[in-house]
Amino acid sequence: MSLLNYTVYRLAQGFITFLGAFLLIFLFVRLLPGDPARLIAGPEALEEDIQRIRAHLGLDRPLYEQFITYMASLLRGDLGTSIKYGTPVLEEILARLPYTLALAFVAEALAVSVAVPLGVLAALKPRSLVSQLVSVLAVVGASLPVFWTGLMLIFIFSVELRLLPSSGAESPKHIILPSATLAFFLVGNLARITRAAVMESLSSNHVVTARAKGLSFNKILVRHVLRNSLIPILTVASVQLGALLGGAVVTETVFAWPGIGSLLIDSLFFRDYPLAQGVIMFTVGAFILINIVTDILYALVDPRVREILWKAA
Amino acid sequence: MRAISRSMIIAAVILVLIVVLGFYLVLKPGAPAPVITPTPVTTPTTPQTPITPTPTPTPVTPIVSKKDVLRVAIGIDLDTIDPHGQTTTVVFNVVRHVYETLVWYDEKGNVIPWLAERWEISPDGLTYTFYLRKGVKFHDGAEFDAYAVKANVDRWTDPTVRVPLRGQLPIKGAEVVDKYTVKIYFKEPYAPALRAIASYLLIASPKVIEKFGNQTITEAIGTGPYKFVSWEKGKKVVLEANEGYWGEKPYIKRIEWLIIPDATTRVAALLAKDVDFAYNLPPTDIDRVKTAGFQAVTPLSNRIIFIAILPKGPLADPKVRQALNYAVDKQAIIDYVLYGLGVDTNAPLPSHFFGYARMTPYDYNVEKARKLLAEAGYPQGFKVVLLHPTGRYLQDKQVAEAVQAYLSKIGVQVELRTMDWPSFVKEVTKPLEEKTYDMVLLGWGPLVADAHFTLHGQFHSKQAPPKGLAAAHYSNPEVDSLLEQAAREVDEAKRRELYRRAIEIIWQDAPWIFLYVQKWFYGSAANLKGFMVYIDGEQIFFHKAYFD
């Protein structure tokens, strides 16, 4: 089996998962109590106005009929029209997507570039200060709620020091605080995984052999240790990235970052069914895709995985 | 192992340090006890003027703004810029810098000429004739005239157009008399008509109406002092001064409305001077904002906050409901829970509304409350469930908790229950027999400052859920008939009298625990002057704002 076949196989598998998720999303979004028509018109509105809006949105028709209509339009590539904005859902998602992508990748890149060197150093000197720092970071980063870290950073760097903008997405400067907030949350975990992986391969037989052969330590580190430690790092980083692509809801809200996460929250609070299910479907899709890409990457970095995975497929 | 446990200790110490530092940063200049900001008690007998920190300047020399870009932080994104699709006050506020109306309000709430120079009302109250201002142009160059008004009215009444609040302005149609005279017809006499026209009928360019037909309008073209430039969803809305404005030209050249959902972030953005003005800040930050040298703007809103009591069990007895009113110390709640951001108007509506009448207060009196409960046959009290939203109104959860504490003093045990807003609304709109609570904390803030919208919406028996949202399921044929008469009465004095009588009955029946009218808390840069606080206390207009 080739890489291409494997990719096609995984994509097909992902598509089926996606369909299942889609049905659940359609139902669950509508199971939430609440009436979008009344939320549009506001509590002070008259009943006749609310009835009219409901009919206008097609919400007065039975659920299966709504489902069929939605599926039919989906097949034409139409994700429906947002109840709140009255504009195509796809347009809304595409407008927010660049922000989410930028924040997710910058945050993850920041986390990886801090965590991996830190983790490697910690593994090389398990009793050192760096190693302790990794443990401390892991606990502190994971214990502090993201909104707290975010507000702290805003108050320190924007209000007190006046160095960085407090919120919004006007310039590249604006991405610093939100991505730092997310990275702070991610770094500890990633560094700990790196440390564990590197320590494990340091004590493995082939590294011992390489050392016995008299290879230089740097060469061993790069060619034998790091390559073997990549898989767990890749796994954690990709799961983190997948979660970030779903929209870092809290961070986006705190920093008024106009990404997918804040769009999802808005649409759910407004019971904007088409928009909410559009965003969730996008998130699910992104997650499935990232998983597939990660598996392919495994296969690329590790010939043993290639063997096992392709056989299974 | 030792290393790990040592690092755990270090982690714990760092966490504690960070949390302490965080509290210091976020809460400084820390208010040791709840701060009582003495709010000027307005004499409720006269219509209330919104409290504007700066009176409209009457400069001898023409104003030159030191800075010509104004950045404003708002908490929610716009939903639509369609002039007839508006429902939300903040969104109205933004687009009303672009669109104008035939008539408007002055600062006392009187209806004043705007795009119409004067008007006549037919004796039967069915026909309103407007004589329009000449020489007004839309931003796209189209002329403002009777045909433009008719195009807007036609769209408002077109059943295929999504006009959420059509029922609040039940127009039948419009007729062009001549180029600058237009008649607007109503289906039946509708006393709040002028006020509703001032609030809802935003006039868009006829070219845009022609272009979009019954679809949602996505190009905002009006006659207002600002032109619409752009709207980046979830991010910002940009307006630019209209150099060809028919009235006094705006001083600020560009307004950027930034969408910042988190209230604490809005405070931070103001303190960091990233924005010049911020809407709707948490009351707990009022001292911080003031000490940092910013203006705290605290206008009275259109929104009355109350606890609707369902007429079931012990609560069906008016004596019991009066007892609950005596048992709650409203002034203490306003001072300590709301940080002064509320006003007790002693009536079921805000004091600046047309039709307001002041009633004898239910003064805080535990003894009297106990006595009334005993007379009603409940000397030991009873149990009730109080439903409340969280985060919808200022300090809503905290107010519910305070009420819970007060009622426990007269033996009424309150169980608190909360839900997210859509579920909450769903619960409140259920029929009486399906409701799983006994009392509900709710706010009611009509866009039009007229007693009709509060009283009819909350006390007419036909508005009881599931049909409407009259939360107390109040039903009194006499009140119904008074409210119906008042809605059709064209004579203002007679209309006032009808509302006074209705309010008296409602006040005695006590279907609510009458609480307070909410104030908003906005923060502004110290040198921003001349902005106007609208009569509804929620909208701020920057037509004449400038930086000193």
Residue A27 lies in a domain: no
Residue B157 lies in a domain: yes
Domain identity same for B189 and B284: no
CA distance A277 to B514: 41
Q: Please give the pLDDT value at position B12.
A: 74
Domain identity same for B218 and B228: no
Range of the domain at A191: 97-312
Domain identity same for B209 and B246: no
A156 and B167 within 8 Å at the Cβ level: the answer is no
Share of chain A above pLDDT 90, in %: 24
Q: Please give the pLDDT value at position B30.
A: 41
A127 and B447 within 8 Å at the Cβ level: the answer is no
The pLDDT tens digits of the residues spanning B510-542 come to 999 999 999 999 999 999 999 999 888 889 999
Residue B400 lies in a domain: yes
Q: Cα angle at A101 between A99 and A103, to 5 degrees?
A: 65
DSSP B453: I
Averaged pLDDT for residues A210-234: 83
Other CB atoms within a 10 A radius of the CB of residue A107 amount to: 26
Residue B426 lies in a domain: yes
CB of A53 closer than 8 Å to CB of B177: no
CA distance B428 to B306: 14
As a dihedral over the C-alpha atoms of residue B449, residue B452, residue B458, residue B460, rounded to 10 degrees, the angle is 180
Q: Please give the pLDDT value at position A64.
A: 86
CB of B507 closer than 8 Å to CB of B359: yes
Chain A interface test: which of B304, B435, B469, B536 (most A C-beta within 10 Å): B469
Residue A127 lies in a domain: yes
DSSP B456: I
Averaged pLDDT for residues A135-145: 85
Other CB atoms within a 10 A radius of the CB of residue B35 amount to: 15
Q: State the CATH number of the domain containing residue B283.
A: 3.40.190.10
Domain identity same for B466 and B338: yes
DSSP string computed for A175-240: GHHHHHHHHHHHHHHHHHHHHHHHHHHHTSHHHHHHHHHT--HHHIIIIIIIHHHHHHHHHHHHHH
Q: Please give the pLDDT value at position B61.
A: 59
Number of domains in chain B: 3
CA distance B292 to B280: 17
Q: Please give the pLDDT value at position B23.
A: 66
Closest chain A CA to residue B79: A85
Contact of A151 with chain B, judged by CB distance below 8 Å, is answered with: yes
Number of H helices, E strands in chain A: 15, 0
Other CB atoms within a 10 A radius of the CB of residue A15 amount to: 11
Across the interface, of B77, B162, B262, the residue whose CB is closest to A254 is: B262
B1 to chain A, minimum CA–CA distance in Å? 10
Query: Which residues are CB-neighbours of A133 under 8 A, at least 6 positions away?
Result: A118, A122
CB of B300 closer than 8 Å to CB of B51: yes
Other CB atoms within a 10 A radius of the CB of residue A244 amount to: 27
Residue A56 lies in a domain: no
A255 and B232 within 8 Å at the Cβ level: the answer is no
Closest chain B CA to residue A144: B15
The pLDDT tens digits of the residues spanning A79-129 come to 888 888 888 999 999 999 999 999 999 999 999 999 999 999 888 888 888
Residue A7 lies in a domain: no
Q: What does the block give as tokens for B239? A: 């307006």
Q: Please give the pLDDT value at position B33.
A: 37
Which of B222, B243, B274 terminates a domain? The answer is B222
Q: State the CATH number of the domain containing residue A265.
A: 1.10.3720.10
Across the interface, of A56, A86, A263, the residue whose CB is closest to B234 is: A263
Residues 440-479 of B with CB under 8 A from A: 442, 444-447, 453, 457, 467-469
The pLDDT tens digits of the residues spanning A177-192 come to 999 999 999 998 899 9
Contacts of A148 in chain B (CB under 8 A): 22
Domain identity same for B208 and B150: yes
CB of B184 closer than 8 Å to CB of B127: yes
A46 and B447 within 8 Å at the Cβ level: the answer is no
Domain identity same for B376 and B470: yes
Q: What does the block give as tokens for B100? A: 């104008």
Residue A42 lies in a domain: no
- Give how far Cα A76 sits from Cα of A25, A72, A80, Å: 19, 7, 10
Residue A186 lies in a domain: yes
What average pLDDT is seen over chain A? 86
Other CB atoms within a 10 A radius of the CB of residue A306 amount to: 17
Domain identity same for B514 and B524: no
Residue B13 lies in a domain: no
Q: What does the block give as tokens for B378? A: 């409940």
Range of the domain at B139: 99-222
Q: Please give the pLDDT value at position A312.
A: 63
Q: Which residue ranges of chain B lie beneath pLDDT 70?
A: 1-8, 22-62
Query: Which residues are CB-neighbours of B281 under 8 A, at least 6 positions away?
Result: B263, B266, B267, B270, B289, B521, B522, B523
Phi, psi of A164 (to 5 degrees): -125, 155
B423 and A269 within 8 Å at the Cβ level: the answer is no
Domain identity same for B539 and B470: no
- Give how far Cα B231 sits from Cα of A100, B228, B255, Å: 19, 8, 12
Domain identity same for B216 and B228: no
Phi, psi of A273 (to 5 degrees): -50, -55
Task: Quote helix, strand, coil % in chain B, to nearest 5.
Answer: 35, 20, 45
Across the interface, of A43, A132, A256, the residue whose CB is closest to B425 is: A43
Number of domains in chain A: 1
CA distance A131 to B354: 71
Q: What does the block give as tokens for B255? A: 């307004």
Q: Please give the pLDDT value at position B397.
A: 94
Domain identity same for B428 and B475: yes
Contacts of A258 in chain B (CB under 8 A): 232-235, 259
B444 and A44 within 8 Å at the Cβ level: the answer is yes
Q: State the CATH number of the domain containing residue B107.
A: 3.90.76.10
Domain identity same for B103 and B177: yes
A151 and B265 within 8 Å at the Cβ level: the answer is yes
The secondary element (H helix, E strand) that includes residue A105 is: helix A89-124
**Adjacent-strand bridge partners of B128:** B121, B184
Which of B222, B241, B269 terminates a domain? The answer is B222
Domain identity same for B255 and B174: no
As a dihedral over the C-alpha atoms of residue B146, residue B150, residue B153, residue B159, rounded to 10 degrees, the angle is 180
Which of B187, B204, B222 terminates a domain? The answer is B222
Q: State the CATH number of the domain containing residue B322.
A: 3.10.105.10
A167 and B15 within 8 Å at the Cβ level: the answer is no
Other CB atoms within a 10 A radius of the CB of residue A16 amount to: 10
**pTM score of the predicted model:** 0.84
Contact of A88 with chain B, judged by CB distance below 8 Å, is answered with: no
Using the Cα atoms of residue B162, residue B86, residue B248 and residue B110 in order, give the sign of their dihedral: positive
The pLDDT tens digits of the residues spanning B454-505 come to 999 999 999 898 888 899 999 999 999 999 999 988 888 999 999 999 999 9
